[in-house]
Every structure is written in structure tokens, then in C-alpha cells.
Amino acid sequence: MATIFGSGIRRREDPRLVTGTATYTDDVKLPGLTYALFLRSPYAHATIRKVDVAAAKAAPGVVAVYTGHDVNPHTIGVPCAWNVPNCDLKVPAHPLLATEKVRYAGDPVAMVVAESRAAARDALDLIEVDYDPLGAETDPEKALAPGAPQFHADVPGNKAFTWEVAGGDADGEFARAEAKVELRIVQQRLLPTAMEPRAAVAQYNRGSGQLTLWCTSQNPHIHRFLCSVMLKLPEHRVRVIAPEVGGGFGSKIPAYSDEALVSWAAMQTGRPVKWTEDRSENYKVTIHGRDHVEYVEMCGTKDGRITGIRSRVYAGLGAYASTAGPGIPTILHGLVYSGAYVIPHIKCTVHGAYTSATPVDAYRGAGRPEAAYLIERLVDTFAREVGMDPAEVRRKNFIPKSSFPHTVATGITYDSGDYEPALDKALAKIGYHAFRKEQAEARKQGRYLGIGIGSYIEICGLGPSQVAGAIGFGAGLYDSAIVRVYPTGMVRVYIGASPHGQGEETTFAQIVAEEFGIPVEHVEIVHGDTETTPQGWGTYGSRTTAVCGSAVKVAAGRVKEKAKKLAAHLLEANEADLEWADGAFRVKGSPDKAKAFGELALMANVAWNMPAGLEPGLEANAFFDPTNFVYPFGTHACTVEVNPDTGEVKILRYVAVDDCGPHINPVIVQGQIHGGVAQGVGEALQEIAVYDSDGQLLTGTMMDYAVPKATQVPVIETDYTVTPSPVNPLGVKGCGEAGTIVSAAAVVNAVVDALQPFGVRTIDKPVTPARVWAAIQAARGGNGKGAH
């Protein structure tokens, strides 16, 4: 049989997704269903004087109206689950519905439950709220400055925390270094924009006390855990189902008040309740990503050796500490400052700020793209400072292949790596040196071409549970699988992770089919329902394949071990005399004496002839906890042409060379890289969430927030190197976020390169036409004001 592991078979998920036969949360229809909508604050920051719901309660079709006074005494507020240690983190209360104060435009104040969405919507207009508007501040640096409005009584100066990681002696190194560069970088707010907005349907059985919650979740077990806390329900009476989930990019990891409130309303009314975000609501209340203002520096020797990196980062958490909010700009950001390089002296200081804006949490890459961006922008700036080719500066400073596993100055240990071949491949593929000549020719004709490189590492495959505990993450990070073999040899695998577009229904089936020597169609992967799947921690952080896939591999191995015992018994041979070949256990030397997997499945399940001491059935489970994170890496390269008249940037070519270890399915790997690069290119060129000075989101619809369209994404040329990880049995490293990590840096580096003739030293992303034009004007000494 041809090997199925490593084969680019088609995704089995796609037919139902592209033919409209998938069941999303909003498709769940139950008898007696009611519909919930939330009244949300129009102000970014205001005192609530009075909420009058009498008219709404009396409106036609309204089942119930709740305010915080009804809900909050009986529930626990939205928890923050990442209590970053060794810092002064303050987590303010986050009640399910605001009663005293609202802290961002979108903060929920009341909930209406009605017989129809239309009736609920009309009733919202009947609720009267008296607000006293207070000052807003959405910029994290300004929110920490004296005189900023005070958002939480128990968080003086809006200071969420100051966190630091240091290795070596960065201050000393900067004092003595030969060459230094510094940049101010704004990691703009981004809107995750999953195609499916969030939704929840809750059903409560008053007789049994069972709550069933269908919701848009990347991690139903975490949602079960957190909902049981918020609702004060025993966890075993809460069932969370994530049906088809239309993308998350991090935005469907956190606990929100919405799902808890829908559940609470179902418990109160005794009727099922549904809530579905529309896009405007999604942009207003579902978490945002990034939001840093950074002052970063790099130092080194005149001959291009990087010796230090230092930063002062202002990180906006938004109005409240979201589930993983505090961990992203700290643990997932500062710890990876060494990037792909040997940098002996590192210091990263992060000031977390509460602002009057939507909470910030994980968005594809979460902390690591911010780190990769600042490192790679600094490397290019440093290379220019010392007069070296930026590709050669990277090569010179790469962690050498011979030193893995390699511990960097921030204390984390990279599992495996070989960075130069990926750089070489990227340079060769894009024709780096030939392009430099083309660029020089074009400049003579008044055309402005640029080339940019980004080399990255990523910390993913989250991660060892012991480390999760040590870094304050309120969950385990192992994952789990049950492999269940039916009498006919068909296999169902129940997994703790919760894929929502990444293709693991296909790739995990490939793992199992390979193990058992059976057709991939004989394996079904089941996920997303806490009732049937074993305890796991969800799909994020490029962890699903490295961690949960390994659990699948281990559990399948256990099934196979048992099958081998049975085969030995049936063949009247010693186990030691059996070998696995061509999909069957065979007696060594007598290959015709064999038991294939299908026959063993039947014999184990009917149990007519089991060896002594072997239980009937053919099933095994596994909880896999990795010994370390995995560290994918790679180099992306991009060429651009800038039109100085309009400021437009056109990507000419985009090359991505990534190393995520062995590919289970190369087509799916490519798809993940494509999606990641699309998001990184969007971040580089056009995506930005903008608030006005009153804290109103000006980019609140897809008319103004520029998610890249198909025509705005370049052709992405992919290639790979393969360096297996030693920390899991598959050797895989994860590729879900890889494309996003360094793509924004590669694009912006290319744009800055193109703008060298104008003397433009740096430019903020997104590099919009308006900003490019303004940067050129400013460099020319003209009027470059006014670009955001």
C-alpha cells in the first residue's frame, strides 16, 4: 500500500463546507427556540446612571429582559485565565453585564430574549439607559500617561502590569556596543474576522439540571470549564458542543460574557436561547489582536554581529483582561526575542495597559508575529547601519545547526533547527542577487523596486503542561485521543483538540490509516463535543498536530500492540516472532501466516478466542504531554514596486520557505501557509482598526476594515525544508501560524528597501498608499502630515 502519511489527499472537510451542508451553531434549531440580543454601550467610557427596561419587557414577543442587577449576583464574571507570574498583574472585575460603568463601546448593559430576532431587535430600542460619558483613551502608551482617564477603580493609572524578561546584560552591552539602531514600532490593532461570527445556542433541562451549549469554540473543554465557573454549575452537567466552526484565528478561544448570558437565560426561561453576532457586533465585541506601541533597539559590532536587543513595549489589553490577554504580549512575545539568532544580551520590558477599547487576546500568531516583526525590522535597520547586506547579517547571526537543542538568552530551549538552508532556498527562489541588479536598473528609470526578507522562529505546539502551570496559564496543555475500532475494522477517533478549518479530520485519519495499514476512508475523526471526546485543551498555538496528533499516534500504537497480542495468539506464534508488513502482522520467515488489521478488529470485538488475560474490544486512549514546545522556522522573501505618485505598493513576488518538520499532508500545509501569509500581507498593507478620540471604532464594518480580498493577495510561492522535532513521535512542528509570523516583516522590509532613494528610514504598518505618500513627502521635507 502506498504510504498515506505524507500524501496530499484532498481535505474530507471540504465537500460539506463548499456545498452548504455543514452545520454551524446558527444552524442549530430547537423546539421553542428564543432569540437573544444584547444592548451594548454606545460610549467608550461612561457611568451608568439608570437602566429602564420596562417598555422593552412589555413589547410584543419579548420573553425576558435582564440587566446586570438580575444576572451578576448569581454569576461569576468573565475570568482571565492567564495570570502571568513574576509581575504585578492586576485583573479587574469583568461582570457579565455592566451595571456601574461601561468601559468600551460595545460593553453589554442588558439582554433581551424574544420569540424572534426582529422582536428582540425592536425591544433593544425601547431600553432607556442614562449615561454620563467619561473620557476615552484607546492608545496603550497614552492610557498609562499621567492625566489619562481612570477606567477601573482598583487599577491605578490603568497599569495592568509591568513585566520583564532579561538575559545577559543588555544595558551594559548597549552602553559599550559599536553600532546601535532604534525604531518606534506600532503593532496596530487588528480584527480577527473569522468568516463565521460568534454564536451560541443554549438548552437547559430543568429536570436533569443539564446545560447543553452549542457555541463557536476553538476549545470546547475550556469553554465547559469556564462556563461552569461563570454559571456556578457543576462541570459534569455542562456539555459544550462546537459544531462546524468557521474559522477563529484566536478569537474563539476566550470566554465571553455572551455565551454565559445565553446559557443563563436558558436556565431562567426554561427555553432554548440563540444568539448570533452580526459582523458589526463581531468587530465591536469579539477580541482584537496586537495593539502595541514599541520602542525597540538593537546593537552589535561594526562587522554585523548582533549582540543585544532591548525594548520598551506598551501593550493594550483593552477594557478588561481577556482569557489569555496578559500572556500574549509577555510570555508569547518577550521570550522569543532572540528570533533565529544568537543574541547574548536581551531585555524586554512590557507595560500592560487597560484602555477604553475592545479587549485584546490571541490573534493568529499571538505575540510571536509582533516579536518577529520588531526583530526583523531591526535586523534590516542594523544591516543598513553597518553597511551590510541584510541577508548576510541574518546568515552571520543564525543559531548554528550544531548547537541544537539551543537555549537562548531569554531561557527557552529551541528543539531543533537548521536555518541556513531555508534562507538559501528563499534567496535562490526569489533570485535575490539578480533582483538587486534589476532594482538598480529600475531606479534609473524612476521606478522604485524593493526586496525584503524575514527569517523567523516560532514557539508553538503549546506545550508541556508543567510549563503551562509555571507560566500561569490556567489550563493543561497536553492533549488526548481515543481510538476505537469497530468489528468491521472501521475506526473512530475521538480527540480533545477542536479543529475549525485546519484539516485535522483528514490529517489525523492519515496518521491512523498509516499505523493500521487500512484505507484512510475507514477512519473517522470526531471532535468538538465534550460529551464524547476526552479532556483536551483545544486548537490554537499551532498545537493540534504536534500535541493532539501525537496523542492519536500513541493511542493508535496502543491499539496496534493489543492487536499484535491477539495476532500472536491466533497465529499460535510468539509476539517476538511477528512483524508488521503490508498491513498485517506476519510470522517472520512465513509471511503467508498473517493476520490483517480487519480480521483482528473482528476477532477482538467478538472476543470468541482471546488469549488469557487480554480483555475483549479494540480501543485505546492516550494523553500526550510534550517535553518541550516545538520551534518551526523559515525565511520569507518578497519583492515590491512602489508607485511614488499614488503611494501604492504592489507585491511582485512572494516566496515562503518554511520548516514545520515532516508534512502529513503537503497540500494542507501549503493551505495553512497561504492563509497565514494572506493575513500577514493584510497586516502589512491594509488592515488596521482605528478608533477616534471618543473611543468609537471607525473601522467597524467591512466597508472600512480591509481584510484582503482574493485580488489583494499575491501569488504565494512555497517551498520547504524538513527538520524533525525530537519532542513528539511524529516529529512535526505545526504550521497553523507560520505563514503569519514573519510575512508582515518581509513585506514592510521590502517597502522600506524600495523607499531608500527617498531616505525613508521606516514606515508604520499597514503601509497604505496614504502612508507611503506621506512618508515620501516627509522625507522630501514636504507636507507629509495626516496619515494615520
Partner 1 sequence: MIPTSFDYVRAASLRDALNALAGSDGTTKVIAGGHSLVPMMKFRLAQPARLVDIGGVGELKGIVEHRKGARIGALATYRDVIESPLLAERFPILAETAHQIGDTQVRNRGTIGGALAHADPASDMPAVMLVLGAEFTLRSKRGKRVVPAAEFFQGAFQTAVAGDELLVEVTLPGAPRGAGMAYVKQMAAASGYALAAAAAVVGRTRKTISHIAVALTGVGDQHHVVRSVQDLVGTKGEPEAIAAAAAKAVEGIDVQGDVHAPAPYRAHLATVVVRQAIERALARAK
Q: Which residues bind partner 1 (CB under 8 A)?
A: 117-118, 121-122, 125, 278-280, 645-648, 685-686, 688, 690, 698-699, 702-707, 712, 768-770, 773-774, 777, 783, 785-788
110 sits in which H/E element:
strand 108-114
**Residues 6 or more apart whose Cβ sits within 8 Å of residue 153:** none
CB of 683 to partner 1, least distance (A): 13
Q: Tell me whether residue 146 or residue 781 sits nearer to partner 1 (CB atom).
A: 781
Q: Tell me whether residue 188 or residue 465 sits nearer to partner 1 (CB atom).
A: 188
Q: Tell me whether residue 357 or residue 475 sits nearer to partner 1 (CB atom).
A: 357
Q: Tell me whether residue 182 or residue 648 sits nearer to partner 1 (CB atom).
A: 648
Q: Tell me whether residue 639 or residue 777 sits nearer to partner 1 (CB atom).
A: 777
The burial class, CB within 10 Å (0-12 / 13-18 / 19+), for 446 is exposed
CB of 27 to partner 1, least distance (A): 18
Helices assigned H by DSSP within 686-768: 738-754
CB of 37 to partner 1, least distance (A): 9
- Between CA 53 and CA 64 the distance in angstroms is 10
Q: Tell me whether residue 442 or residue 707 sits nearer to partner 1 (CB atom).
A: 707
Q: Amino acid identity of 725?
A: S
CB of 707 to partner 1, least distance (A): 7
CB of 279 to partner 1, least distance (A): 8
Q: Tell me whether residue 60 or residue 387 sits nearer to partner 1 (CB atom).
A: 60
CB of 784 to partner 1, least distance (A): 8
Q: Which contacts (CB < 8 Å, 24+ apart) does range 522-525 have?
A: 522/489, 522/490, 522/491, 523/490, 523/491, 523/492, 523/493, 524/490, 524/491, 524/492, 524/493, 525/492, 525/493, 525/495
**Residues 6 or more apart whose Cβ sits within 8 Å of residue 434:** none
Q: Tell me whether residue 47 or residue 646 sits nearer to partner 1 (CB atom).
A: 646
CA–CA distances in Å: residue 627 to residues 513, 735, 785: 26, 19, 52
CA–CA distances in Å: residue 333 to residues 351, 457, 605: 13, 12, 50
CB of 580 to partner 1, least distance (A): 54
Q: Tell me whether residue 120 or residue 383 sits nearer to partner 1 (CB atom).
A: 120
CA–CA distances in Å: residue 456 to residues 129, 378, 629: 50, 13, 16
Q: Tell me whether residue 76 or residue 707 sits nearer to partner 1 (CB atom).
A: 707
Q: What is the dihedral of CA 714, 719, 723, 728, to 10 degrees?
A: 60
Q: Tell me whether residue 55 or residue 602 sits nearer to partner 1 (CB atom).
A: 55
84 alpha-carbon distance from chain centroid? 18
CB of 435 to partner 1, least distance (A): 26
CB of 315 to partner 1, least distance (A): 23
**Residues 6 or more apart whose Cβ sits within 8 Å of residue 234:** 228
Q: Which of 495, 502, 552, 492 is nearest to 527 (CA)?
A: 495
Report angle CA 216, 222, 224 to the nearest 5 degrees: 80
User: What SS3 class is residue 430?
Assistant: helix
- Between CA 741 and CA 371 the distance in angstroms is 9
CB of 121 to partner 1, least distance (A): 4
CB of 645 to partner 1, least distance (A): 6
- Between CA 113 and CA 66 the distance in angstroms is 8
Question: With contact defined as beta carbons under 8 Å apart, do 465 and 478 qualify?
Answer: yes
CA-atom Rg of the chain in angstroms: 27
Beta strands in 460-618 (DSSP E): 479-485, 491-495, 523-526, 578-581, 584-587, 590-596
Q: Which of 83, 160, 80, 89 is nearest to 470 (CA)?
A: 83
Question: With contact defined as beta carbons under 8 Å apart, do 767 and 758 qualify?
Answer: no
Q: Tell me whether residue 61 or residue 731 sits nearer to partner 1 (CB atom).
A: 61
CB of 126 to partner 1, least distance (A): 12
CB of 757 to partner 1, least distance (A): 19
Q: Tell me whether residue 630 or residue 697 sits nearer to partner 1 (CB atom).
A: 697
Helices assigned H by DSSP within 650-768: 666-685, 738-754
CB of 117 to partner 1, least distance (A): 6
Q: Tell me whether residue 193 or residue 257 sits nearer to partner 1 (CB atom).
A: 193
